[in-house]
Amino acid sequence: MITNPQSDSIASALNAFQIELPSWGFANTGTRFGKFNQPAAATSTEEKFSDAGQVHRLTGVCPTIALHVLWDLPRGAADVAHVRTLAAEHGLRAGSINPNVFQDQCYKYGSFGNPDPAVRQAALDHILDSVAIAKGLGSRDLSLWFADGSNYPGTQNIRHRRQWFEAGLQATHERLAGDQRMLVEYKPFEPAFYHTDIADWGMALLFAKAAGPRAKVLVDTGHHYQAQNIEQIVAWLLDLDMLGGFHFNDRRYADDDLTMGSIDPYQAFRIFHEIRHFEWETGRRADIAYMIDQSHNLKGKIEAMIQTVTTAMELYAKAALVDHEKLAACQTACALVDAEACLKDAFSTDVRPAIREWAASKGLPADPMDAFRQSGYL
């Protein structure tokens, strides 16, 4: 049962909670084997904004949409004014800007890590154009993911590639405005299977530190091996003031982009808990961009996004119920059972009634999925 203090804690947490929607999550996507088209999938930037606007109006916590430069702004800076108009029309803001240095044929052997200096320069030019686009849209975060790596031993000089990456990231950082950040993402494998140039959080951390003070690490919850303790990585990055943002999803292996919480909701809860506990202990809010990065190959695009957002809200609300003072005392005393119970009790609480109360207080539907299905929008 949700008590009044618990309800207040949940309402306070949700009032401050925002999670960014990915434009590409509304479009047709697939696997390396192909894709199955959905009749209602977005086929233009206009439709992506419209779909994202629907999700935000139903949930109230998704005011920004992440944009992929080649997919959403194919003409680059020439599309900025149009995107600003779309954002205003649908009650949204442009969120993180995502360059694309993996799609064009020139990136067959990498982008920043390519042995060809002309290709490295082409990648840098595109990323610097993306920085300018972000400035034009009032977007703070530049989200950097690289597919660079190699498939066979001895085929690339790993040390040279590390040096080229460091130089490219430093050049990017120099172009950032004072209020902008660049978030460096990592991935253990795929599409490169022998070595990946930014394969784990330690490599991303070193690159971010070398780039400059406005570079942080982006943690994609799918980009880890199954046994990885992601919340430990989160705790370290928080303590080092190097955690910039998340790409939330779920997986059965390292990155199949299933909907958040569909496989291991307790893991996402534990991540949110580490952040909340850090904020309680330090007395300051962590400056973290919460984002979704999923590929809805089989689920309906908009329904999958609503399901994800409501799951994120529930798990964040559960994390808000952890008794931090009691937990800290239990940790100090090494009271293992009682300390673990602080987390399990919060996770086991049904927070949905309190979330419905919060939604009603904001004029939002109590059941966003049902409201969407009844709306006729699809």
Q: Tell me how many domains the chain contains.
A: 1
Phi, psi of 198 (to 5 degrees): -125, 90
Q: In whole angstroms, how far apart are CA 284 and each of 21, 276, 280, 331?
A: 25, 10, 7, 21
- Residue 130 domain-assigned? yes
Q: What is the pLDDT at residue 3?
A: 82
What is the full DSSP assignment across 311-361? HHHHHHHHHTTS-HHHHHHHHHHT-HHHHHHHHHHHHHS--HHHHHHHHHH
Q: What is the pLDDT at residue 255?
A: 85
- Taking the C-alpha atoms of residue 137 and residue 28, their distance in angstroms, rounded to an integer, is 25
Taking the CB of residue 128, how many other CB atoms lie within 10 A of it?
15
Q: Return the SS3 of 182.
A: strand
Q: In whole angstroms, how far apart are CA 79 and each of 21, 102, 216, 308, 343?
A: 20, 21, 27, 29, 47
For residue 374, what pLDDT band results from cuts at 50, 70 and 90? Answer: very high
Tens digits of per-residue pLDDT, 51-91? 999 999 999 999 999 999 999 999 999 999 999 999 999 99
- Taking the C-alpha atoms of residue 143 and residue 145, their distance in angstroms, rounded to an integer, is 7
Taking the CB of residue 267, how many other CB atoms lie within 10 A of it?
18
- Of 246, 331, 247, the C-alpha closest to 281 is 331
- Residue 170 domain-assigned? yes
- Residue 256 domain-assigned? yes
For residue 336, what pLDDT band results from cuts at 50, 70 and 90? Answer: very high
Q: Where are the alpha helices (DSSP H) in the chain?
A: 4-16, 45-59, 69-72, 80-89, 117-137, 158-174, 201-211, 230-239, 265-282, 301-319, 324-333, 336-348, 352-361, 368-375
Is residue 295 predicted with pLDDT exceeding 90? no
Taking the CB of residue 84, how many other CB atoms lie within 10 A of it?
15
Average pLDDT over every residue of 21-29:
95
Residue 18, amino acid: Q
Q: What is the pLDDT at residue 32?
A: 75
- Taking the C-alpha atoms of residue 19 and residue 60, their distance in angstroms, rounded to an integer, is 10
Structural tokens at position 318: 């559960």
Tens digits of per-residue pLDDT, 38-61? 999 999 999 999 999 999 999 999
For residue 2, what pLDDT band results from cuts at 50, 70 and 90? Answer: confident
Structural tokens at position 217: 């690490």
Tens digits of per-residue pLDDT, 129-162? 999 999 999 999 999 999 999 999 999 999 999 9
Average pLDDT over every residue of 199-218:
98
Is residue 195 predicted with pLDDT exceeding 80? yes
- Residue 6 domain-assigned? no
Average pLDDT over every residue of 211-236:
97
Which domain range does residue 64 map to? 12-375
The fraction of the chain above a pLDDT of 70, given in percent, is: 100
Residues in the chain: 378
- Residue 5 domain-assigned? no
List the CATH number of the domain containing 280: 3.20.20.150
CB 20 within 8 A of CB 95: yes
Q: Which residues of 33-63 are buried (b: 16+ CB within 10 A; e: fewer)?
A: eeeeebeebbeebeebbbbbbbbbbbbbbbb
For residue 222, what pLDDT band results from cuts at 50, 70 and 90? Answer: very high
Determine the straight-line distance between the first and last CA of the chain, rounded to whole angstroms: 35
Is residue 338 predicted with pLDDT exceeding 90? yes
- Residue 265 domain-assigned? yes
- Residue 2 domain-assigned? no
Average pLDDT over every residue of 286-311:
96
- Taking the C-alpha atoms of residue 311 and residue 304, their distance in angstroms, rounded to an integer, is 10
CB 325 within 8 A of CB 338: no
- Of 366, 254, 271, the C-alpha closest to 310 is 366
